[in-house]
Structure 1
Amino acid sequence: MLAASGGPPHRPDPESGYAVFHNGEPVAHTETPEEAVALVAAALPPDLGPAS
């Protein structure tokens, strides 16, 4: 799963819009937050249920 260690899986990047992280390293840059969230959601395990 894409996520930053101790931080959000995506956050604003002043140079390229939004950055998506995995293990604290940037793995993708997007122009919009919606694109960043779509990348993170696409990487979720298929059997992951709703958060409680």
Structure 2
Amino acid sequence: MAMDEFLEGESLTGRQAAIIFFAFLILIVVAALFLIAFSDFFQNLVT
């Protein structure tokens, strides 16, 4: 499957779409936890 076909999404199965969705969701949650965990560090950089 070529990358352009993959990005169009027409040939994705439901399982592939679910994996992509949950991977993106996990990425957002990990980024949020990272920002919360290091928020004091980031505030010290600004001030």
Query: Is the TM value for this pair above 0.5?
Result: no
The structure that is strand-richer by fraction is 1
Asked which structure has the greater RCO (Cα within 8 Å, sep 6+), the reply is: 1
Select the structure of larger CA radius of gyration. Answer: 2
Please report the TM-score for the alignment, with normalisation by the length of structure 2.
Answer: 0.33
TM-score with structure 1 setting the length: 0.30
